[in-house]
């Protein structure tokens, strides 16, 4: 008897790239991190350049087998000014106010996925929220209290690095690796489940939620924020733990050539991903342009982006006209 979990199926999945630009300039981000103590320091001790802050967020629209549609917000970005613009542009602010978004899934507690939480809560402070159980006291203060965290910058001045004036009042499900019943899965909707990977990452953050969507007659789509646990680990979980026709696709950050530096193991990942036979890879964010471009030349079915990002008021210094992956304002349908 198979020990794979049956999560059901959906008729379709559309993902809108609200914003995949965690920050706008890699060099500035790395310099801030170095001055603040390096990647092993907590993110709450670094005087980040507010002008460099963007954010990651995606809107999932799931069509059930009976035709009903449901929406899930994945992450809430970093800079509240940027996220307010993004949410207004895509109508997410009004969807939140009208209660049209079922829940928000926080993939992990990194600043570019979480610190823009006020942009979500100001429109619906009672939204149901899934977040990794491995929070820090500062995370809790920013989420549940009127948090305003300040640090000393290089000039000795106290500066605010993150703030939220609208505490979360809704149901909070703190996810654990075993899941609520030992299966490792939190069922969000028929055909949609979440698994929390207990992985450590830079800036003293731990744990990442990953969403799995089983599209009828096609297979599983793996949806990530950053993919810190490793893309092959995420895909292996899907293959080994969830009943489906197979692996159909993925979306999100794959955490590979994040600062566009190459490592020998990236070549093996290209081979491994190709072997799995997925039909659509909608990657972006921390995947890295370098990996996406090289993977495409090896036949990996990466979905190219468009010029939509150019209509946003600010662009990443790393953005390329090659459209190597999905950018701000793009969308993908599975």
- For 137, counting Cβ atoms within 10 Å of its Cβ (0-12 exposed, 13-18 middle, 19+ buried), the class is exposed
Run of H or E residues at 161: strand 158-164
The pTM assigned to this predicted structure is 0.97
Helix H or strand E segment including 96: helix 92-97
**What CA–CA distance (Å, rounded) separates 16 from 332?**
7
How high does pLDDT run on average in the chain?
96
Task: Give pLDDT tens digits for 186-230.
Answer: 999 999 999 999 999 999 999 999 999 999 999 999 999 999 999
Give the percent of the chain with pLDDT over 70. 99
CA–CA distance, 251 with 223 (Å, rounded to integer): 5
pLDDT above 80 (res 318): no
pLDDT classification of 105: cutoffs 50, 70, 90 = very high
Rg (CA), the chain: 19
Q: Are 25 and 52 in contact (CB under 8 A)?
A: yes
Residues 143 and 115 sit within 8 Å (Cβ to Cβ): no
CATH 3.30.1360.120 fits 12-333, yes or no: no
| Domain boundaries defined on the chain | 12-333
């Amino acid at each position: 008897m198979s020990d794979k979990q049956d999560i059901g199926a959906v008729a379709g999945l559309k993902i809108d790239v609200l914003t995949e630009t965690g920050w706008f300039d890699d060099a500035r981000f790395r310099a801030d991190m170095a001055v603040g103590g390096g990647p092993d320091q907590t993110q709450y001790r670094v005087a980040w350049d507010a002008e460099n802050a963007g954010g990651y967020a995606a809107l999932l629209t799931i069509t059930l087998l009976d035709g009903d549609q449901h929406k899930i917000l994945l992450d809430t970005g970093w800079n509240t000014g940027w996220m307010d613009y993004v949410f207004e542009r895509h109508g997410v602010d009004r969807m939140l106010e009208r209660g049209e978004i079922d829940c928000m899934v926080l993939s992990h507690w990194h600043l570019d996925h979480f610190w823009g939480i006020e942009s979500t809560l100001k429109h619906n402070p009672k939204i149901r929220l899934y977040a990794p159980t491995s929070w820090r006291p500062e995370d809790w203060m920013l989420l549940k209290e009127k948090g305003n965290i300040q640090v000393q910058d290089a000039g000795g001045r106290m500066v605010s690095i993150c703030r939220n004036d609208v505490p979360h009042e809704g149901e909070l499900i703190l996810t654990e690796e075993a899941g609520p019943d030992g299966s490792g899965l939190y069922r969000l909707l028929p055909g949609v489940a979440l698994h929390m990977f207990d992985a450590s990452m830079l800036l003293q953050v731990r744990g990442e939620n990953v969403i799995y969507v089983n599209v009828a007659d096609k297979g599983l789509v793996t949806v990530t924020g950053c993919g810190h646990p490793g893309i092959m680990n995420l895909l292996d979980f899907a293959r080994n733990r969830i009943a489906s026709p197979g692996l159909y696709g993925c979306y999100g950050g794959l955490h590979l050539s994040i600062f566009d530096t190459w490592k020998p193991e990236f070549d093996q990942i290209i081979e491994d991903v190709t072997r799995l036979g997925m039909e659509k890879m909608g990657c972006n964010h921390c995947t890295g342009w370098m990996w996406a471009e090289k993977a495409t030349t090896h036949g990996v079915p990466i979905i190219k982006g468009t010029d939509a990002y150019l209509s946003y008021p600010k662009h990443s210094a790393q953005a390329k006209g090659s459209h190597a992956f999905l950018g701000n304002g793009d969308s993908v349908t599975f």
